Structure formats: C-alpha cells, structure tokens
Structure 1
Amino acid sequence: MTSSEIRRQFLDFFRSKGHLIVPSAPLVAKNDPTLMFNNSGMAQFKDFFLGNGTPPAPRVADTQKCLRVSGKHNDLEDVGFDTYHHTMFEMLGNWSFGDYFKKEALEWSWELLTGVYKLPKDRIYVSVFKGDEADGVPFDQEAWDIWKGIIGSEDRIILGNKKDNFWEMGATGPCGPCSEIHIDLRSPEEVAKQSGKELVNADHPQVVEIWNNVFMQFNRKADGSLEGLPARHVDTGMGFERLCMAIQGKQSNYDTDVFSGTINLIEQLSGRTYTGQMEKSDVAMRVIADHIRAVSFAIADGLVPSNAKAGYVIRRILRRAIRYGYSYLGFMEPFMTKLVPLLANQFADVFPELKAQQEFVATVIREEEIAFLRTLGTGLTRLDQIIGQLTGEGKTEIPGETVFELNDTFGFPADLTALIAREQHLQIDEEGFKAALAQQKARSRKDAASSAGDWVELQDIDKVEFVGYDETEAYAQIVKYRRVQNKQGTQVQIVLDRTPFYAESGGQIGDTGTLELFESNVPKATLTVLDTRKENDLSIHLVADRPDLDELLQSTDLVFAKIDTHRRELTEDNHSATHLLHSALREVLGTHVAQKGSYVGPDALRFDFSHFGKMTDEEISRVETIVNEKIRQNIPLDEKRNVPIEQARAMGATALFGEKYGDFVRVITFDPNYSVELCGGTHVPATGQIGLFKLTSEGSVSTGVRRIEAKTSEGALALLNEQETTLNALKDILKAPKDVVKAVQSLIDERNALQKKLETLENEKVQQLKEQLLAKVEAVNGHSVVIERVNVPSADALKQLAYDLKAKVDNLALVLGADINGKPQLAVMLPDSLISGRGLNAGQVVKDLAKNIKGGGGGQPFFATAGGSDASGLDAALAQGRELLG
C-alpha cells in the first residue's frame, strides 16, 4: 500500500464515520502568541477547545503539516540519527468537539488499524493514564475498561505516567488524559527474546508510538489547579510517516515511499549509495530528505529564510542540510533546489500549494544555498586562522566562546568544528560552548518573557461580535479580563461582547481609542485603549493597569467603546493603497508577484512581494503612476461578506499563500478588472480618499522577496512639503534658484579634483617616508628591522607604507606608529622566519602593543593593525616592539 493510499484510506474511514474532512492549516501559526509553528494537529482547532469559536462540524478529520524545531517540541538534533524523528511531519487526526468521547475514539482507532490497515493485533500495545495523586487526577478507569473490552484481555494494556499519558496544551488551558497506541515492528526472533510491552516508551527504534488519543476534559488554571470543562472533546494524532513504516513493513520511516524517492535522487546527485546505516553519508541523506520538506512547505506557506524569529528557524534547518551535504556528500554547488520538483509532484494531490509555487520555492532555496556555501567557505577560512593561531601558541583546544562564535556567525555547528579540529589534532571545549549557548538562550527567554494570569469571567457568551466594518463606536459589555506582565509592565486585556476596534491582523495594526465605563447609566471612568490584538480568535483590548481596575470592571454593566477615527482613516488609506499597489506590481512586473507580508498603519505602508530582481527606475515610476491613476479615478469600494470560498476564487480573488481561509470569506474589490482580494481589513469607501501615493523606497528584504515602502494622504503630503523645504534651503545655500542639480554636480566635480590632488600629495609624502625608512633598516639576528614613529595622513597610508617597505626589504620585521588626527595607530609586519621559527603572530603582537595606547586590533599572522585612544602611549608601544624584535 502506497503512502498516498494510506492517507486516503484514513480520511475515507473517518468520512464514513460522519467527519468533515478539512484542509491542513499553514505551517506558520497565525494569531497565536504561544506558537511559532503549528506543531500538532490540534493547533488549528485550538480556538474551538478554548470556547472562542464554533467548529465547522462536531466531527472533523484531516492531515496537518506540523513542524517541531523550536520550544518544548524540538526534534531537530535527532533528525537523521534515528529512524522516526522529523522536523516537518504529517499528523493524521480525528476530532470531536463535544460530540463522541472515549468509547467511539478507541473503538474506531482499533477498527482502522486492525480491520482496514490489517496491522497484526498481537503487535499492538495501548497505554492509559495511571493517575497522579499530587495533581488530583485519578486513574483513567474508563479507558482501561474500554480497551479491555476491545482487545479481550489486559495483557496489552500499559499504565502510563503523567509525562507520557497526560496531554496539556500549554502551561494553562484545556488538557486531559490520553491513550497511546504503540506497535512492535521487530523481527519474530527479537520478539521471542523480549516482550514488546517492556520496550514501550523506551526509545526503541522498532517499538514506536503511532497514535495518541487525547481526551480533553479539564482546564488547567494559572495557579496549576484543574477544573472540569463544560464540554468534553477528543483530539487524536497519528504520525503519518510512522504509520507508513508499520504498514509497509519497513524498519525506518526513511525506507518508506514518503522519503525513498527523494533519497534516490540524492544518491543520483551525489554519486553515493544509501545503505540505511549510521554511515555519515547515510545520516546526511536522511537529514537532507527530511529538511527539504520542512523548508519547501514553509516557503510555500509564505515564510522566507531570514535572521529573525520563524524565518531564522527555517534558515537554520536549510543550513543544517547544506552543511551535511557539503561535509559528507561532497556537494560544493546548490543541490537542495534540485529536490523541489520531485517533492512538489509527490504532494500535489494533498498539499497543492507547493506545486503552485514550485519555481518560487526552488529559487529561494537556490539563492540561500549560494549565499551559505559562500559563508561556509568564509567560515572555513576563519577556522583555519583560529587553528593556525592556536597551533602557533602550542594550544590543543578551541575555546568554547570561539566554537559558539563560529556557530552563531557562520552557522558552523559544534560537531563540524570538532570534526575539522580533530583532523588538525585539536579538540573543542564542549562545556564552554554549551555554557555560551545556554547564556544566549537565557537572554532570549528573558527578552521574550511574558506571563498571563487567569481570565476573570464576567459573562458566558457563545460569540464575540466585531462591528468595526460598519461602526466606529458601540455599546458593549465586558465578557472577561486578565492581567499580563510583559516588557511594558503590567497591562490588562479586556474582551467585549461586541467591539468596533479592529484587532491587529493581516498586516493592519490594531485600533486605539477609549472605553467609557458605566454603572447603572452613570459614567465611572474612561480607559485608554493602547492597542487591540487578536489572540485565539478573540479581540483583546489592552489598557494600562490601575489599582481600582478590578472594582471598576466588575461593577461595570455597560461600556461605550470608541475608536480613534482619524487614526483609523489614515490606516485605511494605507491599507487600500496596498491593494492598488499589489495589482500595479503584477501589471508591471508580472503575475508571479505575490504578497509576502505587509505593515499597514496610520503613518506609512510596507509591502513585501515575491520578485528576484531590483526594480528599475522606470518600473518604480510606472507602478507609482498606475496607483495614483486609480486614486484619481475615485473607484468605489465593493465589499462582499460571507462569500463561499469557491465563488470568491471564481471571481478571481487573490489569496495569500500561508493563510487559512474558511468556507466563507470577505472579498474586497476596487474595479473587478483591476483589484479583487480576500481581506479582513478595513478600507476606504472610495480610492479618492487616499489622496496621493508616494513610493519612498524599494529594496531586498530576503532571498526572492522585495520590499516597497510608501506614504499616502497626509503622510505623502507631509513628505512632499518636507522635500520642498529642503530643496528651497539648498537653493539658498547654493545660490542656484533654478538648477540645483547643476550646482551640486559642480561642487562634486570640484571636490573630486581636490581629492585627487590630495591623494597625489599623500602618495608623494609616503614615498618620501619610505626612502627615509629604508635608510634606517637595521640587521638584527638575521632579520631586517624597522621600528619608527611616522607622520602619515591616514590608516590606509600607514598600511601602504608597510607594504611598500616589505616589497623593498627582504625578511622585514616592522613596527610603525602614527598619531592620525589625535587617534594612535599601530602596524606590525613579520617575516615567515619569525612566524615559523619563533612562533610569533602579528595579530597577537599588535594586540599586546595596543595596550599601551588603550586600544586593540588584529589581523593575519604576517600583518596586523591596531587603533587606540591614548596617543601618549605610542613611544612605549614602539619600545616594547623593539624589545620583542631586537
């Protein structure tokens, strides 16, 4: 049975049990501050478990793309070294939202595994939660009895602890006991020697968990206590890759057809043979086959490699694969990009987004490979310098801080540094590296530290209503509130039953404004809303904390919510302008242009889009002209709500890759022949309100992604007024009322001519100095020594002087000092005989000498420079140099 057939049978089975089959959510988590990536099948349903939304059906099934490479769930370093851990994996799942519970979930799991997939019953073990007295959670007798009835005995039922058999969404929130299903894939001979029951949860590569049935029946509060949920839910997750391994009778996930095609192609590209063992080339192939999936689908879902947050994680995964290919398979040129077409075709029927963006994904990966292979070369050069210096000093260990620097700056993992070091008869300070890494993680945790208290529930409602498309103010009631501690201090998050405040989403920032609190129609206080954010499908109004806030909020029976309308209007100007800009870019550059991110606020707009070349001045001008034409046409907004998604697509609506859309969407149109987009933001009633569009910059933000920044309406007018003021000031200074450009060019030409004259004079001075110093060369112990204080105009001139002397004098050992505009400078040059014969290193020598001038420096073993802050120490530095070389 192929992997595609296995996946299809799972979905067909649960469809037959009354489940709605829904598509996978994107890999990148949206509107959830607790998650960077969707790391489990339940992530996209979290709102329903929290009671913040209504599920599309009481029974749902799907296959979800998951990524586990950050936070608590981090499998990255295991990938490639075992048979079953992955960065990206598919999680097959079935869900019940207050519908069926343990009996149906467990019976159906057994029916599917043994009846449909025909897995041997005598190789399957199940576990139930044994209870935790300290936590106040009892033994799951119900699950035990159900399994006993299904299996017919207790022999294959195992009691599990809290770690393995109690599932929690996070530090707080829905949780409950779970029942895992494990399968023993060992040979009959191994089974005869030892029972598989003893190997469950013992990290045995052939006794693995394939399915977990979670029964959400509790809510974990911030103080750690548990309370029962009003409705009980089922959340199951089955590892697709492990299931394929079991059904296809393989000993490794990588031997299944999920990965075998990719590994075969890697074999062809590298000329190596995959044996499935622990050879370095085998590990490399597994790493590459796994990582290409994670990187490709992340890019297809709208994420690009970068140096921040989720983008950095993707860059790290990609670089890990490139390193393995470079080190163990001999890939010196881009190779990962060649795997994308095969992957796109393999998953076209279940995850079509990769096939739709195949060219873009492949190009982003190729550009990243080119850049990192270049970085690898630079890193190797740096490592060679470090090894050379340590060897010259007679040391045998690379310091942990240095190993960390190589890791952090050049992407060199500690194991790669250790490998190269061993070849040079050195070792690395592993403990020092771990300490440096731990310090970095501690800093990151401190920077990201945030804590939230329990919600104080004031009302029980089914739905929070957003009225901000039609109203800028509304009367509402408080549903709940809580305090949060973050970098800004203590703030309070308030949820209303209806609100005109737009919560930050889709690039548009959240509204600000006021909440006026009433008790029995008497106004009590007015709170300033600092921001509005979306969290787990709730609109959360942030206000500053105050001592009497609990009393105020709990006694309030009516709230008058009012947004800052002027700020909203300016934001709408910029948001609608991004729609016009998007269509203009597609018209000028081509239909490959797709939105990759945006910022829309009252002050400016930022628009990121897929494109691989710098826009020309003509293209920029044309885009700006088109957008302003559409503004002058005063095109009215055509807003359609609750449009069936298929109807919206038929209308030609542009959707963002990486966004998950429901069955019904909102469509924003400015001329059906020009701009039709799916969008949840707020917009101008007609484009004329935007007034003016002025593009301020265009540049690269990451591989394959460009960024445009622009201003509209008041911001654009203020920019033009500022530029006019600057131009008028220049006219006055240059006394050029008509042709400022000509006047400035004349100044530049004059400056260039003077610069050339100055360079000629400086060079003549350096040559004169060179002749004077040649006359002062001393023969000391077989070396030609020059140690002098010189008068040169710049650090470059000092360097040129040193190299000119080296060209004239054999075996030159040189120390030069100069006071350049009050800043002391040193230059040290050593011959090979001193470097190899006496173990001297110019970089280390100049560091020692620079202490006299309160400075530091470095360079290569034969030439190095230093700067400082105390010119009075120059003579002492030269004297120390003479003592060293004399």
Structure 2
Amino acid sequence: MAAPVRLLTHRCNGVMNRNYRSVIALRDCLSRSYRVQRGVSSKEVRQTFTEFFHELYQHKIVKSSTVRPRGDTSLLFVNAGMNQFKPIFLGTADPRSEMASYRRVVNSQKCVRAGGKHNDLEDVGRDVYHHTFFEMLGNWSFGDYFKEEACGMAWRLLTEVYGIPSERLYVSYFAGDAISGLPADEETRHIWLSIGVPADHLLPFGMRDNFWEMGETGPCGPCTEIHYDHIGGRNAALLVNADSPDVVEIWNLVFMQYNREADHSLRFLPQFSVDTGMGLERLVSVLQGQRSNYNTDLFTPLLSAIQQCAKCPEYSGRTGDADVGRVDMAYRAVADHVRTLSVCIADGVYPGMSGAELVLRRILRRAVRFSAEVLQAPEGSLAGLVPTVAQILGDSYPELYKETGRIMDIINENEAQFLSSLKLGRRVIERTLQRLEEGDSVFPANVAWSLHRNLGFPVDLISLMLEEQGMCVDQQSLDELAVENNTCQTQNSDGQNLVHLDLHSLARLQTDQVPHTDDLPKYGYSLGPDGKYVFQPCHATVLALYCGQALVSEVSEGQRCGVVLDRTCFYAEQGGQSHDHGYFIKDGLQDVLYPVEAVHLSGGYVVHQVTPADVLTKGDQVQLYLDEAHRLACMVKHTATHILNFALCQLLGPSVEQRGSHVAADRLRFDFSVQGSLSTTQLQTIEESIRNIITENHAVYIEEVPLARVNDIPGLRTVDEVYPDPVRVVSLEVPMSDLLISQTARPTSVELCCGTHLLRTGEIGDVVIVSERQLVKGISRIIAVTGDDARQAREAGQTLGQEVESLSARLAAVTSPSLSAAYRLAKDVGVLTDISLKLDQNCKKNIS
C-alpha cells in the first residue's frame, strides 16, 4: 500500500523548493498507485513515470529517438535510453542545438537488443522475460544533481507513487575493485541507509554487476540497482544477482563520474552525470502482480490475437520441458518479434542483407517459422498482428498508427518469400537426418551452411530447428565455413582513421575558453560578373592541435593530427553532404601545402584532419584554400536533391517522405517512401519537372529562422534530425519573409538544411536519374547525376536507343534472352527515360 500523501520538499543544488503544483500532481499519482493491485495499465505506468520527474523535479520530457542510431556506427540499434544523449556525455553536442541545453530530462525510449554486444534474440521465447524490443524508462542529470537526489527520487517513485512494498526491494551498490584500484561506493551505501533501506537489504557487488561502461572507452561509473522480490515475506538477499526469476532487477542508476581511456585507465569526468534505466515491461509485471512480462497488458492482447488464428491450444505460459511442442515458446517469440518488426519498420529499418537490416530479416524469419510451423497459423497471420501492436503502443509512438499499412505489406512480402524457402529447407533437413547413422546427433556443417547461404536461413534458426529434433550442428566446422565463405558486406572507410577530439580534450578547450569554430565563411561565396562562383578567401589562426589523444602545442612533419582553427571555410560532413577537400598554406611558408583529408564537427569545434608536410604550431596563421570544383559539385548535387524531393512530392503527393540522402561530388542518392517502384513514365515526369525548374533558373533563398518559428513555415519538409537554433531554411523562388507573411503553402521547395547550395537553379545544367529501385517494399532509392555526367548519360542512352530500334526492327529474329539482356543493359547504363520507354513499348511484352 502506498505511503500517505504528504507535502514533499526536496533540495536540488542547495535550493529548497516547495512546488505546490507538483504536490497536486504527486497526489494524483498516489491515488493511482492505490489501484496497483487492481490492475494499473501500462499506459498509466509510463505516464506516471514521466509526469513524476517532470512535475516534481522539473525534468524536460524528451521524446524517444528512433531505434536506428543517429550517426553512431558502433550500434546496430538503439539499445539503451542513454544512446541519444551520447553527444552530451562525450561533450560533442552542437552548442547551438537544444540538446546542449539539457540539464534534466526524462523519457521512455524504444530499444532493440538483437545483434551486436547486447543480443537477447536467441533467449526470446525460452523464458518469460527476455525481449528483442522493450521500452526503457529513464531520467538523466547532465552536470546537475547526483547520487543523493537520484536515489531519493527513485525510492520515492517506487514506494510512494507506485506503491511497491519497501520490504520487497533490495539495493545493490559497487563494492570496489582491487585490480582497478577503485574504492567501494560508500557514499551511495550511506545514502540508501539514510533513506531507510535496511542494512540486510543493501548488498555490495563488484565490477560485473555494479560498474557500468559505455564501451571499451568512454564515460562510465559505479551503479546502484534496485531489485524486486516477487515472493515476499522472507529475506531474499542471497537471490539478488543470482539469475533467479523470483528476484529481478528493475532499475539501474548509473553515476557517470569516470572516463575509460584508451589505455584502460580511469580519469574523472569534467562533469558528473546520472543515467538511469528501468525496463517498462518488467516494471509493469511487478505493478500488475505478474511473474511473467507476457502476462501483462503489453502482451496479452497480442497473445489473444495469435490464438484466434492459430490451430493450436491457447497460451498457458509454460517453459522448458513442460512446454510440449514448444507452443508457448512460439506464442512468446511471435508476440515479441512482431513488436520489434513493427517498431523497426516504422522507424525506417527494413529486412535486408547487412547490418541492422540483416538482424531484422532474421527476426522476421524466426517469427514466420514459429507462426507457420509451430502455431500452424495461415499465411498473413503475422502481419495481421500489426494493428494490435499499434493499439498497445500507438498512443506513445503514433508512427505505428501512421505506418500500419506499410508495415503489414513488408511483413507479408517477406513472409511469402521465406515460406517457400522454409518448405524446401525443411525437406533438406529431413533428408539429411534420414541419411545420418543411428545415434549420430551432429548435423553436417556443410548442409547447415548451404541452408544459410542459399536459402537465407538464419544460423540460429537452423540450430533451433535441429534442437527440436534432438540434434545440434557442428558449430566449429560451421564457423570455419563462415570465415571461408564470408559474404558479409563491409563498408570501405577509404583507409583513413578519422581524428576525433576525446572527451577530456573537448572539456579542456571549453575550460580554456577556446571559442567554438566560426564556420560561417563556408557560406561565403557569390556569383561573379562572368557567372562563375567566387569563394571568399579565408585566413585563420591555429587554436588547437590534437594528436595521439592529447592536445599538443606542435606537430611534426608526417604526424597526422586534428587542427582546430578560429574560423574556417571548409564544410564539415553533416546533413548528408560530403566534407570539403582542400589545403592550408602557412604564412611565411608559401611553398608547403597542408592537405585537408577530412573535416568533421565535434562539440562546436570544426576539426580538420591534416598530415603536415612541415611543422605546424599552435598560433600559426594559415590561409585556407578550398577544392572549389569539389565544393561546387556538391552544391549542384545538394540543390538538385531538394528539387528532386519537391518533384517527387508534386507527383506522388505529400505522403512521400524522405528516408535518407547523400550528396557527393559525383552523384546524389535519395531514399523515399513509396508504395511500389516508379514506372518509366513517372520517372520521365520527375525528370521533366526538375528540368523545368532548372530552366526557369529560380533563385535559391537561404535564411536563418528561430527553431520555434519553423512550424509557421507553410509547406516545410523536414526529416528526423536534431537541428540547431536558429536553423537555416532553404527555399526556391519564394523568399522566407514572403512565406511567413502569407501563411499559405506555395508550390515550391522549402526545407531545413545546413548544406551548401547554388544561388540559382540554372547552374545545375541537367539531371538524369540513372537508377531507381526498391530497397524494400515501401522504400525506393534514386541515384542521379548532374551536369556533364547527365549529358554523357543521355548520349549513352541515345546510342543504346538506336541499338534497341535496330533490335525492334528485327524482333522476330531476336531470342527472348538476348532481348532481356538488352533491357537489363539499358537499366545498368542508367537511362530510365526515353530508352526505357521504347523498351517498354516494343520489347518488354516479349521478355519472359
């Protein structure tokens, strides 16, 4: 039973605050907590968490980021609530962005743990608490409150608001580590004792359980965890951290106070922070009086929906040997996996062949197999569960409602593809088992690898299917085959290891009051009298040199380093646009060039990666020279990308959404949502629309607008990114002032964009779409070229067109395979307009 309502006072940073509005909010929360045992809903649990920290402790509510990490290549999926705040912990947040102002925040974050370091996929279904998708409730302090306040807030929420009996709670804290030389966290222990946690419910543990680290390097610190005893009426201290299903961890409070250096040593962080995480699914099971997460209202509607279409007994919650035929395991796996599929697809991650997409493909195929073979549900049943997922989670994540139809289409399409493979694979496994000698329990690795490579069977699914037959695969031989025949795609990183400022160096720059780089000169260009672009010269001072994870005063010849200048005209890679190329010349040393290999942003500083051809010293004066041809090519492609986005929207309607883009000097790439692949006629229409805008030579207007006013801009198109304040708005033909005054959408392109653009559209010259294909159902990718490359593509198309006309004239004598080859060649050349239309009209009907 919850504690009586009382006026709560709390001290934050030495200031006593009696917030009567917050007390009223707490009273309402407390009144709900009295109903916990009568069935508090998961929606109420989630809402109470955010309201508690927002109303009582002035935390800003931040919406969940997508499950696809923003700019973090170290992760396949967002797997913890703190992922979106890593720029704050690492000191790299753009100082102009809203994130840089965060001090206290709270949210519920969508997380996926499948693949990579944190991988729960193979455990899902076997027990009643593992998930691939889950929600992480969390509150954060960035250099604000620390241990005492964090512990007090957590205890108050659990015991007074949620009404969890304090005698069922156990708390662990960091016991210290002799090897690392870390002392026990006695401060946290004394805080918990002062709050009222009994000494026999307060338990010390070592590095494995109570010291949290972001990765091999980076912010880390001791943590304290709160555990819940499902049984009660006993002392369950010995079951804490003992993998007992009866005593489970529900909340982890991490105290970020160290940084793990590259040499594995620990240094104190410039500012201490708090990072907490509590799994919603596990908390709801506690508050709804359930031992299994799958018996809560987050899952029971799904289990009921599965049972309605399955040809097997209803779900009964059994595990292990008691689960005859693994029916209940299948129920849990399908329920979990359809949640993961729905959330990932809604966030732009689709089943594919590499990285996160490959992991999602494995999840989908695992779900299809359980649904079709174990539960004997008809084809289409898996997609039929998506509306139920939206009903459960859609209030918090409305994108699930919006994308329901597309999610179902993608699942259905992938299910149909895999079911045919599944039948064949099942026959292969059965034939192989029949050929094995009696008593042989090891399945041949070469057959398993063939199923994986040729039929797309996930290795863990093969193992699971064999396990059901009392068999196992020869894992060592399978691993050897995987190494031998490695088909995984790898990303080519151009051979350069980028120089990134580390956390302490960033903090030192800020402590030394080194000003953030003034990069406005990158926009300093104009059209000269001859119609050519003139880029303003840029003279700068070397403010900092970074080499070997340290700030230095001088670097020698041939020593790769990061150079921070007081100002720069170089564009750092961001917003989908490639970084600039060019070089420095040092004053007084005009014949020595310092080539700039890469340019990136880090916490408001533009870092130029340079391998000096001579000594470079802090305080040196340098002249910056852009590779103007490279920059201009990127400007052409970026403006063309905006026009392409607008043309697609005009043709297909405002439901078309940008799903990614990349602007390089040689081409542009644009991903967008669309129901099916575009026809040749549609591609012709898009190209014609783009050419009209180029011919009309519209002015390109670029203005800065306060972030708070962007919602007032009619017709504005945005993507899911963190924008600085103020933000740059790029519009064609119509100035921003006119758009804001009229409040009426004009038929023109208006986008938020930090990239570099042409001043008039006529300088693009021409645009040719060289390829268009569906990455997955509902998402297409266009590759296009401009200028001379576009002209050459058209000339190649005309030549090929003449060949096709010749082929068409001799159509009766041409075999179908030859004609098919000609059609594929037309596609590969990349001319999808006139030539493809001729093929469509004259030849495609004869191609088998």
TM (normalized to structure 1)?
0.75
Instruction: Give the direction of change, closer, same or farther, for the CA distance of 1:274–1:707 in structure 2 (3 Å limit).
Output: same
Q: 2:608 aligns with which of 541, 546, 553?
A: 541
Residue in structure 1 matched with residue 41 of structure 2 by the alignment: 2
The whole-number CA distance in structure 2 between the counterparts of 1:575 and 1:469 is 15
The reply on whether 1:557 has 2:620 as its aligned counterpart is yes
The whole-number CA distance in structure 1 between the counterparts of 2:491 and 2:576 is 26
Structure ranking higher on relative contact order (CA contacts 8 Å, 6+ apart): 2
Instruction: Give the direction of change, closer, same or farther, for the CA distance of 1:369–1:58 in structure 2 (3 Å limit).
Output: same
Q: 1:148 aligns with which of 181, 190, 193?
A: 193
The reply on whether 1:275 has 2:338 as its aligned counterpart is no
Q: Secondary structure at the match of 2:688?
A: helix
Q: Is the CA contact (8 Å cut-off) linking 2:240 and 2:248 kept in structure 1?
A: yes
Instruction: Give the direction of change, closer, same or farther, for the CA distance of 1:752–1:220 in structure 2 (3 Å limit).
Output: closer
The whole-number CA distance in structure 2 between the counterparts of 1:224 and 1:425 is 44
The whole-number CA distance in structure 1 between the counterparts of 2:492 and 2:772 is 31
Q: Is the CA contact (8 Å cut-off) linking 1:515 and 1:529 kept in structure 2?
A: yes
Q: Secondary structure at the match of 2:209?
A: helix
Residue in structure 2 matched with residue 577 of structure 1 by the alignment: 640
Residue in structure 2 matched with residue 510 of structure 1 by the alignment: 579
Residue in structure 2 matched with residue 794 of structure 1 by the alignment: none
The whole-number CA distance in structure 1 between the counterparts of 2:127 and 2:180 is 34
Query: Shift of the alpha carbon at 1:121?
Result: 0.2
Q: 1:700 aligns with which of 769, 774, 777?
A: 774
Matches within 5 A, 1:725-740: 726=799
Residue in structure 1 matched with residue 530 of structure 2 by the alignment: none
Residue in structure 1 matched with residue 662 of structure 2 by the alignment: 599
- Higher mean Cα deviation, 674-683 or 261-270? 674-683
Q: Secondary structure at the match of 2:82?
A: helix
The whole-number CA distance in structure 1 between the counterparts of 2:133 and 2:466 is 32
Residue in structure 2 matched with residue 350 of structure 1 by the alignment: 396
Q: 2:355 aligns with which of 290, 309, 333?
A: 309
Instruction: Give the direction of change, closer, same or farther, for the CA distance of 1:664–1:382 in structure 2 (3 Å limit).
Output: farther
Q: Secondary structure at the match of 1:70?
A: coil
Larger Rg: 1
Counterpart code for 1:176 = G
The reply on whether 1:668 has 2:730 as its aligned counterpart is yes
Residue in structure 2 matched with residue 678 of structure 1 by the alignment: 752
Instruction: Give the direction of change, closer, same or farther, for the CA distance of 1:270–1:307 in structure 2 (3 Å limit).
Output: same
Q: 2:597 aligns with which of 530, 536, 555?
A: 530
Counterpart code for 1:675 = S
- Higher mean Cα deviation, 688-697 or 699-708? 699-708
Aligned residues: 728
The whole-number CA distance in structure 2 between the counterparts of 1:446 and 1:691 is 32
- Higher mean Cα deviation, 444-453 or 620-629? 444-453
Q: Is the CA contact (8 Å cut-off) linking 2:341 and 2:364 kept in structure 1?
A: yes
Query: Shift of the alpha carbon at 1:205?
Result: 1.7
Q: Is the CA contact (8 Å cut-off) linking 2:221 and 2:257 kept in structure 1?
A: yes
Instruction: Give the direction of change, closer, same or farther, for the CA distance of 1:40–1:417 in structure 2 (3 Å limit).
Output: closer
Q: 1:110 aligns with which of 141, 155, 159?
A: 155
Q: Is the CA contact (8 Å cut-off) linking 2:501 and 2:602 kept in structure 1?
A: no
Query: Shift of the alpha carbon at 1:490?
Result: 9.8
Q: Secondary structure at the match of 2:642?
A: helix
Q: Is the CA contact (8 Å cut-off) linking 1:32 and 1:535 kept in structure 2?
A: no
Q: 2:365 aligns with which of 310, 316, 319?
A: 319
The whole-number CA distance in structure 2 between the counterparts of 1:184 and 1:581 is 58
Instruction: Give the direction of change, closer, same or farther, for the CA distance of 1:691–1:350 in structure 2 (3 Å limit).
Output: same
Q: Is the CA contact (8 Å cut-off) linking 1:474 and 1:500 kept in structure 2?
A: no
The whole-number CA distance in structure 2 between the counterparts of 1:753 and 1:343 is 47
The reply on whether 1:99 has 2:144 as its aligned counterpart is yes
Residue in structure 2 matched with residue 477 of structure 1 by the alignment: 542
Query: Shift of the alpha carbon at 1:619?
Result: 1.3
The reply on whether 1:82 has 2:127 as its aligned counterpart is yes
The whole-number CA distance in structure 2 between the counterparts of 1:404 and 1:535 is 44
Instruction: Give the direction of change, closer, same or farther, for the CA distance of 1:553–1:244 in structure 2 (3 Å limit).
Output: farther
Q: Deviations over 1:654-674 (max 9, x none)?
A: 223x54557764432225423
Q: Is the CA contact (8 Å cut-off) linking 1:693 and 1:712 kept in structure 2?
A: yes
Runs (5+) with no aligned partner, structure 1 = 731-738, 756-886
Percent identity between the two aligned chains = 38
Instruction: Give the direction of change, closer, same or farther, for the CA distance of 1:328–1:301 in structure 2 (3 Å limit).
Output: same
Q: Is the CA contact (8 Å cut-off) linking 2:214 and 2:220 kept in structure 1?
A: yes
Query: Shift of the alpha carbon at 1:750?
Result: 4.6
The whole-number CA distance in structure 1 between the counterparts of 2:465 and 2:122 is 20
The whole-number CA distance in structure 1 between the counterparts of 2:204 and 2:498 is 34
Q: Is the CA contact (8 Å cut-off) linking 1:295 and 1:318 kept in structure 2?
A: yes
Q: Is the CA contact (8 Å cut-off) linking 1:493 and 1:542 kept in structure 2?
A: yes
Q: Is the CA contact (8 Å cut-off) linking 1:606 and 1:708 kept in structure 2?
A: yes
Q: 2:289 aligns with which of 244, 249, 252?
A: 249
Instruction: Give the direction of change, closer, same or farther, for the CA distance of 1:614–1:231 in structure 2 (3 Å limit).
Output: closer
Residue in structure 1 matched with residue 385 of structure 2 by the alignment: 339
The whole-number CA distance in structure 2 between the counterparts of 1:52 and 1:145 is 34
Instruction: Give the direction of change, closer, same or farther, for the CA distance of 1:376–1:680 in structure 2 (3 Å limit).
Output: farther
- Higher mean Cα deviation, 317-326 or 499-508? 499-508
- Higher mean Cα deviation, 447-456 or 2-11? 447-456
Q: Is the CA contact (8 Å cut-off) linking 2:515 and 2:566 kept in structure 1?
A: no
The reply on whether 1:610 has 2:673 as its aligned counterpart is yes
Query: Shift of the alpha carbon at 1:131?
Result: 0.9
Query: Shift of the alpha carbon at 1:620?
Result: 1.4
Query: Shift of the alpha carbon at 1:556?
Result: 5.1
Q: Is the CA contact (8 Å cut-off) linking 1:262 and 1:289 kept in structure 2?
A: yes
Q: Secondary structure at the match of 1:407?
A: helix
Query: Shift of the alpha carbon at 1:536?
Result: 7.6
Q: Secondary structure at the match of 1:167?
A: strand
The whole-number CA distance in structure 2 between the counterparts of 1:595 and 1:140 is 48
Q: 2:338 aligns with which of 292, 296, 316?
A: 292
Query: Shift of the alpha carbon at 1:12?
Result: 0.9
Residue in structure 2 matched with residue 260 of structure 1 by the alignment: 300
The whole-number CA distance in structure 2 between the counterparts of 1:175 and 1:28 is 23
The whole-number CA distance in structure 1 between the counterparts of 2:431 and 2:605 is 55
Matches within 5 A, 1:9-88: 9-15=48-54, 16-53=56-93, 54=95, 55-88=100-133
Query: Shift of the alpha carbon at 1:14?
Result: 0.6
Q: Is the CA contact (8 Å cut-off) linking 1:631 and 1:690 kept in structure 2?
A: yes
Query: Shift of the alpha carbon at 1:742?
Result: 4.9
Q: Secondary structure at the match of 1:155?
A: helix
The whole-number CA distance in structure 2 between the counterparts of 1:435 and 1:73 is 24
The whole-number CA distance in structure 1 between the counterparts of 2:772 and 2:678 is 7
Q: Is the CA contact (8 Å cut-off) linking 1:337 and 1:366 kept in structure 2?
A: yes
Give the CA RMSD over aligned residues. 3.5
Q: Secondary structure at the match of 2:245?
A: coil
Q: Is the CA contact (8 Å cut-off) linking 2:169 and 2:228 kept in structure 1?
A: yes
Query: Shift of the alpha carbon at 1:59?
Result: 1.2
Counterpart code for 1:706 = S
Q: Is the CA contact (8 Å cut-off) linking 1:690 and 1:713 kept in structure 2?
A: yes
The reply on whether 1:644 has 2:707 as its aligned counterpart is yes
The reply on whether 1:361 has 2:412 as its aligned counterpart is no
Instruction: Give the direction of change, closer, same or farther, for the CA distance of 1:469–1:336 in structure 2 (3 Å limit).
Output: farther
Query: Shift of the alpha carbon at 1:677?
Result: 2.4
Matches within 5 A, 1:444-463: 455=502, 457=505, 459-460=509-510, 461=514, 463=516
Instruction: Give the direction of change, closer, same or farther, for the CA distance of 1:515–1:200 in structure 2 (3 Å limit).
Output: farther
Counterpart code for 2:280 = F
Runs (5+) with no aligned partner, structure 2 = 1-39, 525-534, 550-557, 734-745, 819-848
Instruction: Give the direction of change, closer, same or farther, for the CA distance of 1:200–1:592 in structure 2 (3 Å limit).
Output: same
The reply on whether 1:629 has 2:669 as its aligned counterpart is no
Q: Is the CA contact (8 Å cut-off) linking 1:624 and 1:693 kept in structure 2?
A: yes
Q: 2:237 aligns with which of 179, 197, 201?
A: 197
The whole-number CA distance in structure 1 between the counterparts of 2:238 and 2:816 is 86
